Chain A
Amino acid sequence: DQQVKQNSPSLSVQEGRISILNCDYTNSMFDYFLWYKKYPAEGPTFLISISSIKDKNEDGRFTVFLNKSAKHLSLHIVPSQPGDSAVYFCAASDLNTGNQFYFGTGTSLTVIP
């Protein structure tokens, strides 16, 4: 049972435009969410997180939005750069059960120069 889903396996965006990556979850107990970026042959690298007490968190060009009622989060990258081309994973956890994270299957982002 996949509790975290990323329904878009791939996304292409022009350089300078906004990239929006989406993630849905089914477990209403999840209260901590993260986004990871992964290049080929490397491990996932932490990008940005958000807890359920907030609906937005921003770090430079990266902003994560959380809609708890819809059980949906999104990652916005503005402006997109060619170096952003990678696979992006979202992950979720229930802090009451420790640091056990459930991952989506990833979205491959290609930023076209």
Chain B
Amino acid sequence: DTAVSQTPKYLVTQMGNDKSIKCEQNLGHDTMYWYKQDSKKFLKIMFSYNNKELIINETVPNRFSPKSPDKAHLNLHINSLELGDSAVYFCASSQGTGGSPLHFGNGTRLTVT
């Protein structure tokens, strides 16, 4: 019974394509996040959702759009993929908006060719 699960684990696609990564958490948390880990292993927040509202939106290209159908899901849609989008994307969740640790999924390795 995985707490935070994301699919697919690996995603290989060509430049210009549109793709989605799905994330689900069964912890009952009310905040979900997307993080990107680049080639330098730097984990950087992209988005977070609290009660279906976007509360953090770092300076990511608008080709990236989070979609949250309910508080247990936060999907990441990426349009017009570019080579520089290749990275590992982690979904995470937490309870509340401050002072609680993040629980991460196992990551999706996106490779754009």
> Is A43 part of the binding interface, using a Cβ–Cβ cutoff of 8 Å?
yes
Hey, which chain A residues are within 8 Å of B103, CB to CB? 46
Measured between C-beta atoms, what is the minimum distance from B105 to chain A in Å? 5
Cα A101 to Cα B94 with chains together (Å): 11
Segment 92-113 of A: residues with Cβ below 8 Å from B:
93, 95-96, 98-103, 105-106
A contacts with B, residue count (CB < 8 A):
26
Judged by a CB distance under 8 angstroms, whether B100 is at the interface is: yes
Q: A100: shortest Cβ distance to chain B, in Å?
A: 5
CA of A102 to CA of B56, assembled, Å: 13
User: Knowing that A42-B106, A43-B4 are A-B contacts, what are 17 other residue pairs whose CB atoms are under 8 Å apart, sorted by A's residue number?
Assistant: A34-B102, A42-B107, A44-B104, A45-B104, A46-B102, A51-B99, A87-B41, A89-B43, A95-B98, A98-B55, A99-B98, A100-B45, A100-B48, A103-B43, A105-B40, A105-B42, A106-B41
Residues of chain A touching chain B, judged by Cβ–Cβ distance below 8 Å, are 2, 32, 34, 36, 41-46, 49, 51, 87, 89, 91, 93, 95-96, 98-103, 105-106
